[in-house]
Amino acid sequence: AAQKQVPLQHGAHRIGKRTDADMNRWRDYGLGEFIHMGLYSILGGDYNSMHYDGAAEWIRSWNKLPHEVYDNLYKKFDPKNFDPEVWARMAKNMGVRYVTITTKHHDGFCLWPSKYTDFNITKTPYKKDMIGPLVKAFDQAGIDVYLYFSVMDWHQADWRYDLKTVADSVAFNRFKTFTKNQLTELLTLYPQTKGLWFDGTWDNSWKKSGAFSDSLDQYLKKIHPGLIIGSRLRADDYGNRHFDANGHLMGDYEQGWERKIPSDYTATRGNDWDCIMTIPQNGWGYSKTWMGHWKTPYELIEMLAKCVSLDGNFVVNFGPKGDGTFRKKELQTADSIGAWMKVNHEAIYNAGYLNWTKQDWGYYTRSRKDGKIYMIVFNVPINGALKVSPAKKEHIKKAYLLQDNKTLHVEALDGNDVFIQLEQKNQQEPFVIVLETGQGG
Ligand code: FHN
């Protein structure tokens, strides 16, 4: 029996994926970069010889750091060594095809010359816009730009966590206008923008603003056709986020995969999605003391392979220092991922889910361009043979290494199953095998 649907005015307006050219392009990115830069980058998680244990971009919420001190940090914001072209080149070398940049994090500090608040970059010793030159440099490097924007704004007197009184609603209505103005400003100043990446939308005040978030979404898409907005912007009539009361995604892709990856294809519900990942355990802005385990490039590459194999994109976060440069370890990570991508990008770009039984050696992806199948191998079994069990009616005609086109021996097993025999069994790094398949058998 059909499930009872809840009538909604502000639920999902589309069921299923967006299939226009802009969204198809998004789907094929494979790899992305996230950048967290702001006033917090100056402190790097430290204040008064003490270290804040949380994510460094949240340091303003630390009771040991007075708000006035934090809010005056703009007087010290001077990323003297910032060079947008260096940032774009780094991303290009890493092989990323889209980048998301913080224009305003929860602290409310704007990295662009917003005319709606003085708490912006033109009032700092640096004086200049950072967003415009970044948009330009990335765009010229062929990398699509998305702008991160926190709705929650700790600096604005009209921001509310909840709407409990009439006065709250009055103030929050002003805040909504301010938000809409800032977003209009960003899209007007930076017309190359491909999408907006919303954050800080989890409080009751915003969850009670479903009608407004719906109209804002429609308005932004109207003034900027093709714009991509994930599922973190809207709330439905009942305050549900991401998925409406009927379980339908509200947004162009699912934006809930933060520092986690779906376990299997079912968990993606067949939606578009991306996973955003920190290199350390948690923490997005620059932190002098890096928290917990530092993910190695191969660990990140494995996450990338897993995401693409489940039809998602994978986005690695970087937190530049207050002077506008990247810490050495981040540069090395970007370099190593880039070196791997140079050889193996075919298995990542324009590729997605393949419904063959997953094997322990790694991940399959399938090209959306020509149907080629890729095996991204992370664990070679002791016998040096990789099992492949194709879906019914498909059989393996040929297998070769992507890195040097060397053909591999395909040994028949039961049915259409095969072993792909590796000559070299002690692999030091993840590698890719290309499969050519035929029908029947
Ligand atoms: O609180 C933020 C956090 O600082 C960071 O910006 C991440 C990135 O997705 N978003 C929020 C937590 O979900």
CA atoms within 13 A on the CB side of 191: 3
Q: At what angle do helices 84-94 and 131-140 cross, to 10 degrees?
A: 40
**How many angstroms separate the alpha carbon of residue 131 from the centre of ligand 1?**
19
**How many angstroms separate the alpha carbon of residue 61 from the centre of ligand 1?**
14
**How many angstroms separate the alpha carbon of residue 231 from the centre of ligand 1?**
14
- Cβ neighbors of 264 (< 8 A, separation 6 or more) are 310, 358
CB of 393 closer than 8 Å to CB of 437:
no
Is any ligand 1 atom within 6 A of the Cβ of residue 40?
no
CB of 32 closer than 8 Å to CB of 99:
yes
In degrees, to the nearest 5, what angle opens at C-alpha 362 toward C-alphas 96 and 359? 145
Give the nearest ligand 1 atom to 36 CA: 6
In degrees, to the nearest 5, what angle opens at C-alpha 174 toward C-alphas 171 and 178? 135
Q: How far apart are CA 368 and CA 351, in angstroms?
A: 5
Q: Looking at the chain, how many residues does it have?
A: 441
Is any ligand 1 atom within 6 A of the Cβ of residue 274?
no
Pull the structure tokens for residue 419: 């072993």
Site to probe by mutation for ligand 1, drawn from 104, 254, 258 as the one with most ligand atoms within 8 Å of Cβ, is: 258
Is any ligand 1 atom within 6 A of the Cβ of residue 199?
yes
Q: How far apart are CA 94 and CA 371, in angstroms?
A: 25
Q: How far apart are CA 433 and CA 347, in angstroms?
A: 9
Q: Which residues pair with 274 in a beta bridge?
A: 313
Order of strands, sheet of 409-412, starting from the edge strand that comes earlier in the sequence: 385-388, 418-421, 409-412
ipTM: 0.98
Q: Which residues pair with 220 in a beta bridge?
A: none
Site to probe by mutation for ligand 1, drawn from 107, 151, 202, 284 as the one with most ligand atoms within 8 Å of Cβ, is: 284
DSSP state of 5: P
- Show pLDDT as tens, one digit a residue, over the chain (441 residues): 567 899 999 999 999 999 999 999 999 999 999 999 999 999 999 999 999 999 999 999 999 999 999 999 999 999 999 999 999 999 999 999 999 999 999 999 999 999 999 999 999 999 999 999 999 999 999 999 999 999 999 999 999 999 999 999 999 999 999 999 999 999 999 999 999 999 999 999 999 999 999 999 999 999 999 999 999 999 999 999 999 999 999 999 999 999 999 999 999 999 999 999 999 999 999 999 977 899 999 999 999 999 999 999 999 999 999 999 999 999 999 999 999 999 999 999 999 999 999 999 999 999 999 999 999 999 999 999 999 999 988 999 999 999 999 999 999 999 999 999 998 878 889 999 999 998 865
Phi, psi of 364 (to 5 degrees): -95, 145
| Structural domains for the chain | 21-350 (3.20.20.80), 354-439 (2.60.40.1180)
Q: Which residue type is seen at 13?
A: H
Is any ligand 1 atom within 6 A of the Cβ of residue 276?
yes
By CB neighbour count within 10 A (0-12 exposed, 13-18 middle, 19+ buried), where does 222 fall?
exposed
Q: Whose CA is nearest to atom 6 of ligand 1?
A: 284
